[in-house]
């Protein structure tokens, strides 16, 4: 992949990631705290929010690992790009949310 195509791909991923984060915000957070679900999950498990997020992220990483293992090297087949994008964006967004949790912890 040449540099131009890679930069276009990266830009589209950043844009899609931002859009998903904004869209899902109303589903997974309260009006007052964007990180509410991780804090609430942490309360259920008597853990810190970062560890609660880790558990949720693991589900997405397992899916990605499984998809990598399922790549057929002989027939050059794999899941569709739409499925790859969904899984990769989910994982990427969990890393962004983790960064937000850590930033909030450090600033306290």
pLDDT tens string 36-52: 999 999 999 999 999 99
pLDDT tens string 69-97: 989 877 788 889 999 999 999 999 999 99
Exposed/middle/buried for residue 3 (C-beta within 10 Å: 0-12, 13-18, 19+): exposed
pTM for this one?
Answer: 0.87
67/85 Cα distance (integer angstroms): 12
């Amino acid at each position: 992949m040449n540099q131009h195509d890679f930069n276009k791909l990266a830009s589209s991923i950043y844009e899609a990631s931002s859009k998903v984060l904004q869209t899902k915000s109303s589903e997974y957070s309260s009006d007052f705290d964007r990180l509410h679900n991780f804090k609430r999950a942490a309360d259920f498990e008597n853990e810190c929010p970062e560890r609660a997020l880790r558990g949720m992220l693991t589900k997405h990483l397992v899916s990605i690992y499984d998809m990598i293992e399922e790549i057929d090297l002989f027939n050059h087949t794999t899941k569709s790009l739409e499925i790859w994008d969904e899984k990769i964006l989910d994982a990427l967004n969990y890393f962004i949310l983790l960064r937000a949790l850590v930033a909030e912890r450090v600033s306290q």
